[in-house]
C-alpha cells in the first residue's frame, strides 16, 4: 500500500482534492488513499493548486512508459518556426462507433489490410506545439481530466518538453470536440493556461456557443454540446475569432475544413516552399479515411461534407507534398501523404 499525505488548508480545496484522487485512481494505481489534514498555525504550509497537483503526480506511481512517450514523438522546423507534437494519451473507440453507418465487413477488410489489430481502435492524440517569435502556441488542448482515463496527459507532456502551462501564450482550436477542447480546464475547472489567448474559427464558435445546440444536435452528441458551451463560457473573455484564409498568427493561416464539425478549421504553416498542414480531425484516421476519403466516419457531424473536404485535402497534400500533422495519427502524427492506386497512404516522417 502506498501512502500519500498532503497538508491542505481549506475545506473546499480538500473536497476537490479528494474528488481528484478518486477520479484518477486508475491512472495513478493507488490501492488506498489516506488524507492527513493538518492546519499548521503560523506556518505557511498551504499548497497552491498547481503545487498540489504536482505533488500528487510526483508521489504516485504514474506509468513511466506513457510519460516517456509523452514528448518528442515528432518534431520539425519550418524556417524559424519550431514545431513538435505532444501526446495527450490515446482514446479507445469501439469500431461500431467510430465507423457508424459504414458496412462493418468493408471497414474490417480495410483495417486488416492496413495491419490494424482486431477490436477497438486506439487513436493517439497529438497536440501540436509551435514555438515562434517568442510565442508558445498550442493547437488544441487535449481532453483534460474528465473524458477518457487513457487521455488527458498533456500536462505531463508539456512538463517533459520543459513548457510550463503559464508560458503558453496562445491556444488555437481546430474544433470543439472533447478531445480537442476539454483540456483547457484543469482538474479544478480552472483555465490550465492562465496567460493564454484563445483563437477559434467564427463558425465553430457560433455553433457551440449557441445554447440551442444541445437540443438541436443528435442525442448522442448532446453531452458534447453541453461540455463545449461550459468551457466556451469560461474562455469567452480571452477568445478571438477568425475566418477562413485569415492569418491567425504570423506564418499561420486558417484553412476551412468543414464537415467533421460545422466550423472545423485546419492550419497551414508556411516558410517559402515548405509547408505544413495541422489537419485536426478533417482527416481523422490514417487507415479507412486514406483508403476511402469520401466515406463518412461515425464522428463526422456532416458526413457528406466531411468526405468532400477530406478528399480535397488529401489531394492537395499529396500533390503539393505538404507535411501533415494528424491529430489521431500514429508515431506522433507528422508525415506525408502519398497517392497510391486510387487511394492514399500515410508516410510518418519520424521527425526527419
Residues making contact with Zn ion (CB under 5 A): 179, 281
Quick one: three-class SS letters along 219-242? HHHHHHHHHHHHHHHHHHHHEEEE
**Nearer of residues 173 and 205 to Zn ion, judged by Cβ:** 173
Nearer to Zn ion, 179 or 331 (CB): 179
CA distance 231 to 185: 7
CB of 295 to Zn ion, least distance (A): 17
C-alpha cell read off for 252: 499561420
Output 17 or 225, the one with its CB closest to Zn ion.
225
Closer to Zn ion at the Cβ: 141 or 322?
141
Contact 20, 155 (CB under 8 A): no
Sequence-ordered strand ranges (E) for the chain: 74-78, 81-90, 124-132, 135-139, 170-172, 197-201, 239-242, 247-249, 252-256, 265-271, 274-280, 323-326, 334-340, 343-348
What 3-state class would DSSP assign to 125?
A: strand
Cβ at position 115, least distance to Zn ion in Å:
22
Q: Which residues pair with 74 in a beta bridge?
A: 85
Q: Which is nearer to Zn ion, 56 or 185 (CB)?
A: 185
- CB nearer to Zn ion: give 183 or 251: 183
Work out how close the CB of 7 gets to Zn ion at its nearest, in angstroms, rounded to a whole number: 39
CB atoms closer than 10 angstroms to residue 22: 10
Residue 112, phi then psi, degrees to nearest 5? -65, -45
Cβ 229 to Zn ion, closest distance in Å? 18
- Grid cell at residue 113: 489490410
Classify the C-alpha dihedral 32-157-152-48 as positive or negative: positive
Is residue 285 within 8 Å of 297, Cβ to Cβ? yes
Q: Which three cell numbers stand for residue 221?
A: 452528441
Nearest CB to Zn ion, comparing residues 53 and 141 = 141
Distance in Å, CB of 281 to Zn ion, minimum: 4
> Closest CB to Zn ion among 53 and 181?
181
**At its nearest, how many Å lie between Zn ion and the CB of residue 91?**
8
Q: Give the Cα separation of 314 and 309 in Å (integer).
A: 9
Give the 3-state secondary structure of residue 96.
Answer: helix
How wide is the angle at C-alpha 332 spanned by C-alphas 258 and 250, nearest 5°? 55
Nearer to Zn ion by Cβ, of 179 and 204: the residue is 179
SS3 160: helix
- In the complex, the smallest distance separating the C-beta of residue 314 from Zn ion, rounded to whole angstroms, is 17
Least spacing, CB of residue 160 vs Zn ion, in Å: 22
Tell me how far, at minimum, the Cβ of 201 lies from Zn ion, in Å: 16
Amino acid at each position: 500500500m502506498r501512502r500519500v499525505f498532503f497538508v491542505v488548508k481549506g475545506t473546499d480545496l480538500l473536497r476537490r482534492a479528494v474528488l481528484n484522487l478518486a477520479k484518477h485512481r486508475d491512472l495513478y494505481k493507488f490501492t488506498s488513499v489516506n488524507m492527513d489534514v493538518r492546519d499548521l498555525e503560523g506556518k505557511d504550509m498551504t499548497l497552491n493548486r498547481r503545487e498540489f497537483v504536482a505533488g500528487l503526480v510526483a508521489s504516485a506511481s504514474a506509468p513511466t512508459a506513457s510519460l516517456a512517450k509523452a514528448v518528442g514523438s515528432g518534431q520539425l522546423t519550418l524556417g524559424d518556426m519550431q514545431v513538435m507534437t505532444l501526446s495527450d494519451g490515446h482514446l479507445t473507440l469501439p469500431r461500431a462507433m467510430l465507423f457508424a453507418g459504414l458496412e462493418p465487413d468493408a471497414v474490417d477488410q480495410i483495417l486488416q489490410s492496413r495491419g490494424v489489430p482486431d477490436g477497438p481502435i486506439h487513436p493517439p492524440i497529438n497536440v501540436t506545439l509551435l514555438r515562434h517569435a517568442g510565442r508558445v502556441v498550442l493547437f488544441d488542448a487535449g481532453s483534460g481530466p474528465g473524458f477518457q482515463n487513457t487521455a488527458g496527459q498533456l500536462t505531463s507532456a508539456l512538463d517533459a518538453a520543459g513548457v510550463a502551462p503559464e508560458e503558453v501564450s496562445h491556444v488555437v482550436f481546430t474544433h470543439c470536440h472533447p478531445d480537442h477542447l476539454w483540456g483547457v480546464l484543469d482538474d479544478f475547472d480552472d483555465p490550465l493556461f492562465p496567460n493564454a489567448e484563445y483563437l477559434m474559427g467564427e463558425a465553430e464558435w457560433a455553433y457551440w456557443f449557441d445554447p440551442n445546440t444541445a437540443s438541436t444536435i443528435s442525442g448522442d452528441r448532446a453531452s458534447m454540446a453541453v461540455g463545449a458551451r461550459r468551457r466556451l463560457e469560461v474562455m469567452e473573455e480571452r477568445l478571438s475569432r477568425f475566418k477562413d484564409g485569415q492569418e491567425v498568427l504570423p506564418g499561420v493561416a486558417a484553412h476551412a475544413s468543414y464537415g467533421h464539425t460545422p466550423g472545423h478549421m485546419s492550419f497551414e504553416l508556411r516558410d517559402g516552399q515548405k509547408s505544413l498542414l495541422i489537419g485536426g480531425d478533417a482527416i481523422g484516421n490514417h487507415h479507412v479515411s486514406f483508403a476511402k476519403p469520401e466515406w463518412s466516419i461515425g464522428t463526422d457531424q456532416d458526413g457528406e461534407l466531411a468526405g468532400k473536404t477530406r478528399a480535397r485535402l488529401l489531394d492537395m497534400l499529396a500533390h503539393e507534398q505538404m507535411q501533415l500533422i494528424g491529430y489521431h495519427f500514429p508515431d506522433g502524427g507528422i508525415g506525408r501523404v502519398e497517392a497510391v492506386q486510387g487511394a492514399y497512404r500515410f508516410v510518418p516522417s519520424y521527425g526527419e
